[in-house]
Structures are given as C-alpha cells and as structure tokens.
C-alpha cells in the first residue's frame, strides 16, 4: 500500500517568513495530493490540492509543487501570519477510486 512521509514534524517561524513542508510517497500510481489544515480543536479542512498532471499550483499565499519522478510534493506558505499556526497534513491517493493515505502532520507555529 501507499506510504507517505512528512517532514518536519514541527516548524517554527517568525511572522512574515516563508514555511515549507515536504512529503514523499511510495505508490507511483498515486495521482491526487491534497493538503489539509487542522486548527486547534477543529476538524481537518482542505486548503489546496494538486493532481499528477500539474507541477505547481498557487492560491494566494500558499502553493504546492509536485515532482512525480522523485515522488515528492511540498507545501509553501509565504508571508506567514499567526493565523497560519495549525497542524498541516499531506495525503496521497489514486483519486476517484481510493481513500487517501495521510502523512503524520506538521505543527506550524508562527510567532508574532
């Protein structure tokens, strides 16, 4: 089955800095890579996703990149703000037919 590794487990940055979270996956058939944000005491919610036919996707201050050859994808957050503080999960799946496998999560702390 699929195995997703996520690093780092904790990331501490100053407000305004950039943050990068990296994930690797093992199943070359995976073609859908979502990222979820979980604020303290809340449910995980999708913030951005990327499909295997795309190398990069941006949405305001967040972006995701995908390298299919190396089987890794990353989340980039620019100009971080305190409200970006949360746990972020990456996931990989064969979209449309399978249930995703999640990484272990990254706790992002943005210091004012």
Toward other proteins, which CB reaches closer, 36 or 73?
A: 36
Toward other proteins, which CB reaches closer, 52 or 78?
A: 52
Q: Does 51 bind other proteins (CB under 8 A)?
A: yes
Toward other proteins, which CB reaches closer, 84 or 102?
A: 102
Cβ atoms 92, 4 nearer than 8 A: yes
Q: Does 35 bind other proteins (CB under 8 A)?
A: no
Q: Tell me which of 24, 31, 65, 74 binds other proteins, using CB under 8 A.
A: 31
Q: Within 10 A of 109 (CB to CB), how many other CB atoms are there?
A: 14
Residues near other proteins (CB under 8 A) are 6, 9, 31-32, 34, 36, 43-46, 49, 51-52, 89, 91, 93, 95-105
């Amino acid at each position: 089955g699929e195995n997703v590794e996520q690093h780092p487990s904790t990331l501490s940055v100053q407000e305004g800095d950039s943050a990068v979270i990296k994930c690797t996956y093992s199943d070359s058939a995976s073609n859908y890579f979502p990222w979820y944000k979980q604020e303290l005491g809340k449910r995980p919610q999708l913030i951005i996703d990327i499909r295997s036919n795309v190398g990069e996707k941006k949405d305001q201050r967040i972006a995701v990149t995908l390298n299919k050859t190396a089987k890794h994808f990353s989340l980039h957050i620019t100009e971080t703000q305190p409200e970006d503080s949360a746990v972020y999960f990456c996931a990989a799946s064969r979209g449309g037919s399978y249930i995703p496998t999640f990484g272990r999560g990254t706790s992002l702390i943005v210091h004012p």
